[in-house]
Amino acid sequence: MTTQASIELRDLILTTQIGTYAKGDLIPDQHLLDLTLWFDSELVLIEQDHMKHVFDYDPLIKEIDRLAREGRYETQERLMTRIVRACATYAPIKSLEIGLRKSPVMNQSGSLGVRLIVDADTLNQMR
Domain boundaries, the chain: 4-126
Q: H or E element: which one contains 38?
A: strand 30-40
The mean predicted confidence, pLDDT, of the chain is 94
pTM: 0.92
What per-residue confidence (pLDDT) applies to 119? 97
What is the CA 13 to chain-centroid distance, rounded? 11
71-87 pLDDT, tens digit per residue, is: 899 999 999 999 999 99
Distance CA 61, CA 67 (A): 10
Residue 60's pLDDT is what? 97
pLDDT for residue 31 is more than 60:
yes
**CA 86 → CA 25, 58, 64, 126, distances in Å?**
32, 13, 8, 10
Whether the per-residue pLDDT at 9 is higher than 90: the answer is: yes
Residue 1's pLDDT band, with cuts at 50, 70 and 90, is low
Instruction: Please check the confidence at residue 21 and state whether its pLDDT lies above 90.
Output: no
Which residue, among 121, 126, 100, has the nearest Cα to 34 in the 3D structure? 100
CATH level 3 topology of 4-126: GTP Cyclohydrolase I, domain 2 (3.30.1130)
Decide if 73 contacts 16 (C-beta within 8 A): yes
Percent of the chain with pLDDT over 90: 84
φ, ψ at 83 (rounded to 5°): -70, -40
